Amino acid sequence: MAKHIIDEAKRCLNCKKPQCRMACPISTDVPGFIQKFLNGDIVEAGKDLFENNPLSVICSIVCPHEEQCEGGCILGRKGKPVRIGSIENYISDFYLNINSHDVIEKKPGRVAIIGSGPAGLAAAFILARKGYKVTIFESEEKIGGVLRYGIPEFRLSNDILDTLHEKLINLGVKIRPNTLIGPVITIDMLFRDEYDVIFIATGVWNPNPLNVKGESLGHIHYAISYLKNPDAFNLGEKVVVIGGGNTAIDVARTAARKGAKNVTILYRRMEEHLPATKSEIEIAKLDGVKFEFLSSPIEFMDDKIKCIKNEIVDGRVVHLEGREFFVEADSVLIAISQSARTNIVSTTEGIELNEKGLLQTDENGMTTRPGVFGAGDVVTGAQTVVKAVNYTKKVCDSIEKYIDAKYAE
């Protein structure tokens, strides 16, 4: 065991009113699992974490801890907070890799889960452990969704997702890879085949365009496509990334690791406005990534980008006329935002979207079609993994009530 994990755990004050727990979107009992760990009961500590958050091992890596649990740690007010994420990761990784043989009482009810990103995986674990028959339909070759195809391997190892895959199989979950719901298998067919509930967790995979002249040129790419398989791209030595979120940071750091000698992030606002996690920004700088702030692209050319300087007026971005400049670029990666695909709603009646093109759901997570529920980015828009899991837990409670009421009739 790494000594620093023990040392960090011993720093926990076991507060009576833990601010760390209050700052966690899924209300993780931080002092509780740390004290069990220190008392030598790592299995119980891991079990508590898993039952509260089936993706605890992932959240311990990708969560913005400084804004959540560690940001609430009282020790951080005058010094360094307890490194809660590191402790959680050690315990969760240990628990994930031991053989558990939970006896699950089977219940009537069959659930189809479309998509295996954070919401889909969480729902599969929760509903399978409740005793329902669960089938995951995944459009890609392997499960994970944005966790596998949207986060670089150096940030989140795919080995973790492979282990989760095995855990799901051991729970009796069926997985159908390379299956896109909509064009061939439809929602109506799933209901025909006696699925009681359909849970849509397809995420947001359509990149939103900048609508800038030259965007269709051969060296302009979308970040979400690049992250799926970076080795399929030949970016050259000078790479410019458009955007300021964690995806922009991820593609910039990936490009640098894949051989680009000059990687620059172009962001339309000031540094303090960057939506990316502060720690990720700092690491990107250490990786050699440069930043160009208050700058927007106005035209993509074969070997450069025509840009314009901005100023912030009443919170709005305003171009400064006459302040055009050029940035050399062999390739450009656009990382601004994504929207939901329409392969399901275009082949199904009764499922409505809101004004943002996301699934319209009620307070229980049910869409406008009875028996069809939704969670994750396709409902809320892009959010953190832990928030997606927390929302999914609530929707799964509603699903349980829906199915049980159906079979009680």
pLDDT at 103: 80
pTM of the predicted protein model: 0.95
C-alpha to C-alpha distance for 201 and 123, rounded to whole angstroms: 9
The CATH 1.10.1060.10 domain(s) of the chain lie at 3-96
Pick left, alpha or beta for residue 178 (phi over 0 → left; psi -120 to 50 → alpha; otherwise beta). left
Tell me the C-alpha to C-alpha distance, in Å, between residue 350 and each of 150, 304, 347.
Answer: 30, 47, 10
CATH code for the structural domain at 207-337 = 3.50.50.60
Q: Which residues on adjacent β-strands are paired with residue 251? A: none
Output the six-digit token pair for 115: 């998509």
pLDDT at 1: 57
Each residue's pLDDT expressed in tens, for the chain with a length of 409 residues: 577 899 999 999 999 999 999 999 999 999 999 999 999 999 999 999 999 999 999 999 999 999 999 999 999 999 999 999 999 999 999 999 987 767 889 999 999 999 999 999 999 999 999 999 999 999 999 999 999 999 999 999 999 999 999 999 999 999 999 999 999 999 999 999 999 999 999 999 999 999 999 999 999 999 999 999 999 999 999 999 999 999 999 999 999 999 999 999 999 999 999 999 999 999 999 999 999 999 999 999 999 999 999 999 999 999 999 999 999 999 999 999 899 998 999 999 999 999 999 999 999 999 999 999 999 999 999 999 999 999 999 999 999 999 999 998 7
The CATH 3.50.50.60 domain(s) of the chain lie at 110-205+340-408, 207-337
The 3 state secondary structure assigned to 333-387 is EECCCEECCCCCHHHCCCCCECCCCCECECCCCEECCCCEEECCHHHHCCCCHHH
C-alpha to C-alpha distance for 95 and 98, rounded to whole angstroms: 6
pLDDT at 192: 97
Phi/psi for 172 (5° steps) reads 95, 10
What is the sign of the dihedral through the CA atoms of 42, 43, 48 and 53? positive
First CA to last CA distance, the chain: 53
Burial class (CB in 10 A: 0-12, 13-18, 19+), 319: middle
C-alpha to C-alpha distance for 383 and 120, rounded to whole angstroms: 14
C-alpha to C-alpha distance for 4 and 2, rounded to whole angstroms: 6
pLDDT at 40: 95
Of 122, 3, 145, which Cα lies nearest the Cα of 59? 122
CATH 3.50.50.60 at 110-205+340-408, yes or no: yes
Output the six-digit token pair for 173: 């979950």
For tokens 């599969």, name the residue: 124
Of 399, 346, 336, which Cα lies nearest the Cα of 119? 399
The highest-level CATH class for domain 3-96 is mainly alpha
Q: Give the H or E element holding residue 249.
A: helix 246-257
Parallel/antiparallel/unpaired status of strands 338-339 and 206-207: antiparallel
